[in-house]
């Protein structure tokens, strides 16, 4: 563990099984076994928490690096980032209209779609790839777009 991890408050609490065992004497010979099992359980839980912290740090480091690279790209290409924002907004409107058409098609042809596998396959072939590509394009444009400043954003609260 690095010093950064130690400076943070722990995500879990400590359980002192030895204090409990001293205050509550074991009944029969099973008490020592229970204390050992509780210690083993606590050790396993501590190890699991350490692994979860490592996973969290690894994932968040990758996300921070990606966000940093994206920020640098946006600073290096402000005009293109602005155009990406406008394109993403326009494509969002197109996506909304496309979804209206898709849902209208489902509503109008519900019985045929539920009863006929051929009709369902035709529907998926007709709308599926275009929707998937449209979503992918919108996601890329949204990530590359510069975030609008509060002064330029209409309808800000």
Look at residue 32 in the predicted model and tell me its pLDDT: 80
Look at residue 44 in the predicted model and tell me its pLDDT: 94
The pLDDT of residue 92 is above 90: yes
Give the start-to-end residue ranges of the domains of the chain.
Answer: 3-70, 78-144
Question: Pseudo-torsion of CA 119, 122, 127, 130, nearest 10°?
Answer: 170
Q: What is the pLDDT of residues 95-135, one digit of tens each?
A: 999 999 999 999 999 998 888 889 889 999 999 999 999 99
Contact, 88 vs 141, CB < 8 A?
yes
Look at residue 31 in the predicted model and tell me its pLDDT: 74
Look at residue 116 in the predicted model and tell me its pLDDT: 85
Look at residue 105 in the predicted model and tell me its pLDDT: 92
Q: What is the pLDDT of residues 10-38, one digit of tens each?
A: 566 666 666 665 666 655 567 788 888 99
Q: What is the pLDDT of residues 40-88, one digit of tens each?
A: 999 999 999 999 999 999 989 988 998 899 989 999 999 999 999 999 9
Look at residue 20 in the predicted model and tell me its pLDDT: 62
Three-class secondary structure assignment of 34-83: HHHHHHHHHHHHHHHHHHHHHHHHHHHHHHHHHHHHHHHHHHHCHHHHHH
Look at residue 151 in the predicted model and tell me its pLDDT: 43
Look at residue 21 in the predicted model and tell me its pLDDT: 57
Q: Both tokens of residue 49?
A: 């928490």
Look at residue 33 in the predicted model and tell me its pLDDT: 86
């Amino acid at each position: 563990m690095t010093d950064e991890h130690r400076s943070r408050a722990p995500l879990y609490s400590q359980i002192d099984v030895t204090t409990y065992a001293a205050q509550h004497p074991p009944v029969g010979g099973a008490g020592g076994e229970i204390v050992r099992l509780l210690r083993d359980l606590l050790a396993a839980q501590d190890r699991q928490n350490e692994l979860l912290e490592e996973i969290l740090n690894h994932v968040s480091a990758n996300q921070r690096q990606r966000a940093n690279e994206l920020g640098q790209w946006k600073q290096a290409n402000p005009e293109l980032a602005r155009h990406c924002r406008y394109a993403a907004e326009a494509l969002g409107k197109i996506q909304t209209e496309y979804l209206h058409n898709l849902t209208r098609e489902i509503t109008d042809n519900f019985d045929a779609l539920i009863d006929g596998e051929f009709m369902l396959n035709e529907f998926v072939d007709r709308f599926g790839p275009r929707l998937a590509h449209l979503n992918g394009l919108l996601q890329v444009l949204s990530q590359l777009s510069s975030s609008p400043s509060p002064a330029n954003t209409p309808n800000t609260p």
